[in-house]
Amino acid sequence: MPVEPSSTPVILTGDRTTGPLHLGHYAGSLRNRVALQHDHRQYLLLADAQALTDNAHDPGRVARNVIEVATDYLAVGIDPALTTICVQSALPALAELTLLYLNFVTVARLERNPTIKDEIQARGFGRDIPAGFLCYPAAQAADITAFRATLVPVGEDQAPLIEQTNEIVRRLNRQVAGTLGHDLLPEARALIPEVGRLPGVDGRAKMSKSGGNAVPLSASDAEINASVQRMYTDPGHLRASDPGRVEGNVVFTYLDAFDPDPEAVAALKAEYRRGGLGDAALKRRLEGVLRDLLGPIRERRAVLARDPDFVMDVLRTGTGRARTVTAATWDAVQDALGLFRLA
Ligand code: TRP
């Protein structure tokens, strides 16, 4: 059964299920996804199989966090009536496509992938790189193409994975061009947020749970307070009356990312630069902004946590829908390539 390319933009994105999501995820992609779900066909993948590529020693953690991340999605406003939320390991077509795609990439190309190179460094694998980890770009290509996604909203660090996906897509399309007459799979485009990555509360470039500098979406008011108090401002700004620096000031970076009133933030910046705005007052403002943002998310999270059957039901329905879509793609790929089909 040939599947014709559709004109509605299809979005696929996902998260490794290694821990609950935090403010960095919110600024970098979650709020985009909430906005995009209204006029796109959107799929969210709970990437538990990918999470195992560097967590095989702790599969329990990966499994537990499937529900945690799904709960985060629902708490921030992902609507299961608009977005299909699905579980990677429960979609056999993804594994089937991965196994095929591994024949369309070289080990050298995988080793050159800048994302993989950075992540291997960061994880300190040395020479002991799990093969599944080195090869996960082929699996991510399977994720993206199985849904025929054309838009992939991700952080900048993921761009090389989309590029490698498109290389596989072009190879396959070229190979079947003569017989098929149209593209077998669409190429995908990374949708990278304009605002840069949200730094950690300690000012380090990346917010991460393992780095101990993250604000989880479930943070209590006390945790919000502690995080904001830790934040680095301008070390030269000793008295409220001193002129202060706004660039590189983590509190302002967060206000830029989350304050619903950018004009008020611009006025605060002017006052800070001039001298006269103290760090304590500045931090109070951010604390209020984060409480207003995270309070309702935390409450929805608490309601969902009391109803695990509801969350499981969302995953069952979404994964069922995703199974149909991804199996159709695997079918079309088998046909186009002329793979053996057991009659
Ligand atoms: N690699 C992504 C991350 O680490 C997670 C992911 C898995 C993903 N499959 C995907 C993202 C497909 C976009 C599309 O966050």
Provide the CATH number for the domain around residue 288: 1.10.240.10
- 186 closest CA partner among 151, 148, 153: 148
Q: Is the pLDDT of residue 182 over 70?
A: yes
Q: Is the pLDDT of residue 4 over 50?
A: no
Asked which of 82-86, 145-149, 199-203 is least confident by mean pLDDT, the reply is 199-203
Residue 175: CATH number of its domain: 3.40.50.620
Q: Is the pLDDT of residue 300 over 90?
A: yes
Structure confidence at residue 208 (pLDDT): 85
Tell me the whole-structure pTM to 2 decimals: 0.94
Radius of gyration of the chain (CA): 22
CA dist 46 and 65 (Å) reads: 9
State the distance from the centre of ligand 1 to the C-alpha of 63, rounded, in angstroms.
Answer: 16
Number of domains in the chain: 2
State the distance from the centre of ligand 1 to the C-alpha of 102, rounded, in angstroms.
Answer: 17
Burial 120-144 (b: 16+ CB within 10 A, else e): beeeeeeeebeeebbbbbbbbbbbb
314/278 same-domain check: no
Question: Of 24-28, 35-39, 132-136, where does the model show the most confidence?
Answer: 132-136
Dihedral pair phi/psi, residue 109, rounded to 5°: -65, -40
225/193 same-domain check: no
Protein residue closest via CA to atom 8 of ligand 1: 14
Mean of all residue pLDDT scores within the chain: 94
Q: What is the mean pLDDT of residues 272-280?
A: 93
Structure confidence at residue 6 (pLDDT): 55
**Which atom of ligand 1 sits closest to the CA of residue 12?**
14
Residues whose beta carbon lies within 6 Å of some atom of ligand 1: 12-16, 45, 47, 50, 140, 143-144, 152, 154, 158
Domain limits for position 257: 221-302
Q: Which of left, alpha, beta for 278 (phi over 0: left; psi -120 to 50: alpha)? A: beta
**Which atom of ligand 1 sits closest to the CA of residue 153?**
13
State the distance from the centre of ligand 1 to the C-alpha of 132, rounded, in angstroms.
Answer: 15
Query: Which residue in the block uniquely carries the two structure tokens 């499994």?
Result: 63
CA dist 109 and 130 (Å) reads: 16
State the distance from the centre of ligand 1 to the C-alpha of 11, rounded, in angstroms.
Answer: 12
